Structure 1
């Protein structure tokens, strides 16, 4: 059983070594542990720190592409190098390396394919009162969109089985955390959470410049993911808002038409027809989206089997262990 721990990095020269030093060297049930760093276009010595420490793999981006792109690039390299379990952690040493053993346990016991580390948000001194409330609201929204019970959706401390990693798809450029939970819930991939501890922050979060920007981008990410996986349900719900007022206005027009001939109420008829047409268009968009969704599922299945065949072939063809750090350029 091979575990690869991946760490997305952007200018983490000051904190990366401390994070790496905290990672486990052995875990019960794991035969081999390797380490992977994704250098997301850093302008400092992040790559040199990783190489000097002795990580097994480095993915180098020539420019900053964002957390989501870095995460998926790391997943691809981990799969290519035979990972049975992939753990993602942050380079700012927010998460404690000792909790990785707790994180991979449900996968080793075959109880889940994705495990999310649940931070003690209420007791985290680095989070403001507003951030704690927003984290709770955001996690609630993800639970509704994904039909899961994950209490800490933005947590980046998570483990994936090889099977789950082969099925992952992230289409936004912002973050993978929310979208992968929605995908897991809607695709019926077994997902659980486990409680973890956290360290004091070594630097401010770089995911968003302001709290307002974080909330706006997160909500748009959740909405987009939900529209991708449940378009018909979403647009049927949206169609209610123009259709019901349109029908009420149309019934009102009919009443006046029957009682007084409808003179002077033509504007109401035009408004009612416009609203009903808008509602009908929403329904049609939902049906079209549902058709596209069905086609997407077929393409995802093809992608899964293609990736599985390729990565399993690479795994079988390279049984020996590399002694030197391998660097991938993207």
Structure 2
């Protein structure tokens, strides 16, 4: 069984060495542990440091594409390399490498498809009170919408089975953490959380630059993914809300009209009518969006099958190249850009 530990990096020359040193090289139930570094267009020596400190595979984005895109590219590369389990961690040494065994255990035992490391943020000293509150509220919202209890939904320290990785599709340009949990809940994948330790902060978070921006981006991602996978429910909620609000001024007009004073309250009838029309439009939009969502599900099924075919072809191609050119180094172990 092959475990690949992927590390998306952007200018992590200073922190990456300790991150790589702390990673375990042997884990119970795992035959082989390899490390993949995704250099997201760094301007420093991140790739050189990764190679020096034992990374087996290095891929580099020509430009900085962001965390979500780098994570997605890493997943694709891990699948191509034949990973049975993929662990994602950060290059800033935030997470304790020794806890990777905790993450991998439930996947190896078949008890989980995805295991997320719970940082227990209430105990982290460098987390501000407002950051702890936001993390708790965000995780509660994600847990509610996904149908799985996830105490630390934005934790990037997680293990993913090969099957779960094949089913994942990242569309968010900001961060993959929330999207992958909501997708997993929608696809009935088993999510488990385990407590993990964290190391002292080595730098400021690049995602949590300021509170308003962070909240806006996370809310946008949450709403987008929820509407994408549950459009009928989302638009029905909007339509029902508008309809109920619209009935109030209509009821007021009817009451006044019954009292013989309806002529002076036509504006209530107009407002109620507009809101009811908007409610109908929301319901109609929900039906159309649900049709689009079902088409998306078919496309995801097709994409998964195409992935499996391409990966099978890659395995055959690599086997031919590795035995046909006389080289001692397999093609799949060479750094690529």
Tell me: higher relative CO, structure 1 or 2? Use CA pairs within 8 A at least 6 residues apart.
1
SS in 1 for 2:290: helix
Tell me by how many angstroms 1:212 deviates.
Answer: 2.2
SS in 1 for 2:235: helix
Tell me by how many angstroms 1:204 deviates.
Answer: 1.1
Rounded to whole Å, the distance in 2 between the matches of 1:207 and 1:322 is 36
2:108 maps to 108
1:27 maps to 27
SS in 2 for 1:327: coil
Deviations 1:288-322 (A, max 9, x none): 11111111111111111111121133235435673
Tell me by how many angstroms 1:222 deviates.
Answer: 1.1
Q: Which stretch shifts more, 14-23 or 202-211?
A: 202-211
Match of 2:335 among 307, 327, 330: 327
Rounded to whole Å, the distance in 2 between the matches of 1:313 and 1:127 is 47
SS in 2 for 1:33: strand
5+ unaligned residues in a row in structure 2: which ranges?
323-328
Tell me by how many angstroms 1:253 deviates.
Answer: 2.2
SS in 2 for 1:296: helix
Tell me by how many angstroms 1:259 deviates.
Answer: 4.1
Q: Which stretch shifts more, 247-256 or 159-168?
A: 247-256
SS in 1 for 2:173: coil
Aligned length: 329
1:284 maps to 284
Instruction: Please say if residues 8 and 39 of structure 1, whose CA atoms lie closer than 8 Å, have aligned partners that are also in contact.
Output: yes
Tell me by how many angstroms 1:324 deviates.
Answer: 8.5
Instruction: Please say if residues 112 and 192 of structure 1, whose CA atoms lie closer than 8 Å, have aligned partners that are also in contact.
Output: yes
TM-score (norm 1): 0.95
Tell me by how many angstroms 1:246 deviates.
Answer: 1.4
Instruction: Please say if residues 20 and 54 of structure 2, whose CA atoms lie closer than 8 Å, have aligned partners that are also in contact.
Output: no
Deviations 1:263-293 (A, max 9, x none): 2232222111101011111111111111111
Instruction: Please say if residues 145 and 222 of structure 1, whose CA atoms lie closer than 8 Å, have aligned partners that are also in contact.
Output: no
Asked if residue 5 in structure 1 is aligned to residue 5 in structure 2, the reply is: yes
Instruction: Please say if residues 103 and 117 of structure 1, whose CA atoms lie closer than 8 Å, have aligned partners that are also in contact.
Output: yes
Q: How does 1:158-307 map to 2 (within 5 A)?
A: 158-260=158-260, 262-307=262-307
Give the alignment's Cα RMSD to 1 decimal: 1.6
Tell me by how many angstroms 1:258 deviates.
Answer: 4.2
Instruction: Please say if residues 6 and 88 of structure 1, whose CA atoms lie closer than 8 Å, have aligned partners that are also in contact.
Output: yes
Deviations 1:163-214 (A, max 9, x none): 0000101111100001100110111011111111111111111113212211
Rounded to whole Å, the distance in 1 between the matches of 2:120 and 2:205 is 17
SS in 2 for 1:5: strand
Instruction: Please say if residues 54 and 325 of structure 1, whose CA atoms lie closer than 8 Å, have aligned partners that are also in contact.
Output: no
Q: Which stretch shifts more, 241-250 or 114-123?
A: 241-250
1:120 maps to 120
Rounded to whole Å, the distance in 1 between the matches of 2:276 and 2:294 is 27
Rounded to whole Å, the distance in 1 between the matches of 2:196 and 2:188 is 24
2:326 maps to none
Instruction: Please say if residues 51 and 325 of structure 1, whose CA atoms lie closer than 8 Å, have aligned partners that are also in contact.
Output: no
Rounded to whole Å, the distance in 2 between the matches of 1:287 and 1:265 is 34
Tell me by how many angstroms 1:261 deviates.
Answer: 6.9
Rounded to whole Å, the distance in 1 between the matches of 2:136 and 2:24 is 30
Rounded to whole Å, the distance in 2 between the matches of 1:317 and 1:30 is 25
2:68 maps to 68
SS in 2 for 1:328: coil
